[in-house]
Amino acid sequence: MPTSQLTQSKSNLRPISTLNLLSNREIQGLMSSKEEVRTLFRECALAILNTGNDEDDVNRLLAQHADFEIEVVPEARGPRIAVLNAPGSAFVDGSMIRGIQDHLFSVLRDVVYVNHILSRDGLYDLETSAGITEVVFSILRNANIVQPKFRPDLVVCWGGHSIDRVEYDYTKEVGYQLGLRGLNIATGCGPGAMKGPMKGAAIGHAKQQIGRRRYIGITEPGIIAAEAPNPIVNALVILPDIEKRLEAFVRVAHSIVVFPGGAGTAEEVLYLLSVLMNEHNRDLPYSFILTAPAEKKDYFDSLDRFIRATLGEEAAAHYQIIVGDPERVAQTAKHGVERVRKHRMKTQDAYGFNWDLTIDHGLQQPFIPTHENMAALNLTKDQPAYQLASELRCAFSGIVSGNVKASGIQLIKQHGPYRLNGDAILMAELDLLLKEFISQKRMKINVEDYQPCWVLDQE
């Protein structure tokens, strides 16, 4: 029987490096908290233990490991985690792989910390934009993602987990060129276009004998089962929802490079466009690059046409598209990082966290993709372009949820596809884009007969 199919006996684990000290009270607070918090910890832990397996259906993962159990045991020298019936692929000769064990304690750290700070009345004002940004900063600082004194060098790479070999090899080559230039990498932590840049950068860093190598994975509970951390990630942080995850990306980034993906990548691009089109950010330097191998430029051909048709030429002016030229991508990203460094030196903004960036409060509010909320989206052109970008971001967030998130998949099973409605011209453009994503097989891994989780109506 293959190792990945073996069921392990009970294992007792202690932190290796990532866990900040937790008190007995904090651990007991987790174990005695609401049932959904304990369930959240179990599901995130199972996703971590499933690292390396090609599975983006969270319900199937949970069903395959229904007997999986995890317990946190407080002890004087630090917490101990006991796991029972974990996926066999997480072990080598009966011992858990160290990187997976490290990530498991990152899950504990973040779930405990987030539950602790958000449950304390008056600690953060989540009704204000500044309060939400403080939460994002606190979580990143607690995870040691935000670090002082170091020069800007972090390139955030976005892209799909369901990509083919040509696209994957291209992401590795871009990562390699970035690594040769001393740039570190942050991604959504999963496979595909999230793994490739890290793997390429690791080789570039090794060739340049660079000591400080950061491969940061930024994720959230709803998506981690579909995009479990790849083996290159050496710093993992779990934000409580997609909106705080996206804010974390754009505030820690010194440059953003986007590879082909699917609905989730479109969501990220629309989110950043909504931020950059806000007039308060007009004078802030920001490096935003879309890139693909020449054979696979159809994704950005489709997305670029959609953006220009719905948001206008002003939106397209915020990014540049580079096709089939990894070296030029890296050179452009390096130049963008240098512009950011000079600007922050001048303004005295922090290198590690972009406090000056204005993010509209509406972008920070968690969007719950129920059928009612999806139907209520304002998908009309009778509003500022940055607000329309935000509404479209929510539409794509719902599509991602219906594709791969447990809650969204269950809603679709119960109530059928989401219904979206809006301007006839805008909905026609959206319909064309989504059909092209399906024909390019960008929605899910290993699904030949993809069934859309949406229906589009016209006003």
Residue ranges for the chain with pLDDT beneath 50: 1-7
Q: List CB contacts of 218: < 8 A, sequence separation 6 or more.
A: 145, 186, 187, 188, 189, 237, 239, 245, 248, 249, 252
Selection from 93, 103, 198 nearest residue 154 by Cα: 198
pLDDT at 323: 98
Contact 419, 374 (CB under 8 A): yes
Angstrom distance (rounded) from CA 384 to CA 125: 27
pLDDT at 52: 66
Place of tokens 């959904």: 36
The domains of the chain, with CATH numbers, are 3-123 (3.30.1850.10), 137-347 (3.40.50.450), 361-458 (no CATH)
Place of tokens 């290198």: 351
What's the predicted TM-score (pTM) here? 0.90
pLDDT at 6: 44
> Considering Cα of 120, then 121, then 124, then 127, what sign does the dihedral take?
positive
pLDDT at 287: 94
Which stretch of DSSP H or E encloses residue 456? strand 454-458
Phi, psi of 256 (to 5 degrees): -125, 125
How many Cα neighbours within 13 Å face the side chain of 56? Answer: 20
Contact 363, 249 (CB under 8 A): no
Selection from 237, 152, 165, 227 nearest residue 194 by Cα: 227
Contact 235, 144 (CB under 8 A): yes
